[in-house]
Amino acid sequence: MSPIGSVNPFSAPALTRPDALPPKLSLPPLPANIAGPQEGFGTMLDGLVGSVEAKRAAAQAETRKVLLGDSDQLHQSVIAMQEASVAFTMMVEVRNKLVESYQELMRMQV
């Protein structure tokens, strides 16, 4: 008899000891300027928008220093601009998903 044929498909799966299970994955902590779940969704979004704005302001300051000749760190300016661009793009995508979710909820029949 084949190994597959010897398994009863209707039997309960074997239980494992709790200490033998792999540890649960945990999420990294939120940055300090982003509110946790206890403060509300709107506050969390305000924190995310604030962090994107801070990245934009930092990139603008770095670029200004390079343009005025106060710094010769052109690569730092380009890196800061890319970080701000990626953060803004991610924020726009999150907004698009939120709008899409809202529209889906509005289409649901009650």
For residue 42, the model assigns a pLDDT of 86
For residue 28, the model assigns a pLDDT of 65
Q: Please tell me the distance from the alpha carbon of residue 62 to that of residue 108, in angstroms, as a whole number.
A: 48
Q: Please tell me the distance from the alpha carbon of residue 9 to that of residue 89, in angstroms, as a whole number.
A: 48
What pTM value is reported for the model?
Answer: 0.60
Q: How many CB atoms lie within 10 A of CB 50?
A: 12
Instruction: Confirm if 88 and 52 have CB atoms less than 8 A apart.
Output: yes
Instruction: Confirm if 19 and 25 have CB atoms less than 8 A apart.
Output: no
Per-residue pLDDT tens for 4-45?
Answer: 555 554 454 454 555 555 566 665 666 666 655 567 888 888
For residue 20, the model assigns a pLDDT of 54
